[in-house]
Amino acid sequence: MADYLFVYGTLKLEVAPAEIVEVMRYLRNVGRATIRGFLYDLGMYPGVRLDANGGEVEGEILEFNDPAVLKFLDTYEGYDPETPGKSLFVRRRCQVHLKEENLFCWVYEYNPQPPRSRRIDAWPPP
């Protein structure tokens, strides 16, 4: 059964770093989409904080069939389902807007609240 992941930064297929390229072969790009929230520049990568009152954060939906993909990406994103409060990112399901429909996808949300001054409109920043 297919599952979906919304990506907005270094998990995008075209910019995936070398250490995750192997697992990215198991993901298929479904299309460009948006979520509601705030995007932050965290230096080497972006982070999103989901918020229904936030702006549209652009990204891509990736489809996969193997749950092992998420376990690998959880490690890469610093997410430990046993201790989510101590994780750098937390994997959550959220509503994603794809063309004329909404789809529920996994997304990695940045766990700490970054300073407002780090907000950006897009990744990579201009």
Give the pLDDT confidence of 110-122 residue by residue, as tens digits: 999 999 999 999 8
DSSP assignment, residue 100?
T
pLDDT band, very low/low/confident/very high, at 9 (cuts 50, 70, 90): very high
DSSP 52: T
The answer to whether residue 126 scores a pLDDT higher than 80 is no
Architecture of domain 3-120: Roll (3.10)
Read off the pTM. 0.95
What was the pLDDT predicted at 40?
Answer: 97
Per-residue pLDDT for 87 more than 70?
yes
**Cα torsion at 51, 103, 65, 61 (round to 10°)?**
-70
The tokens for 28 are 């298929």
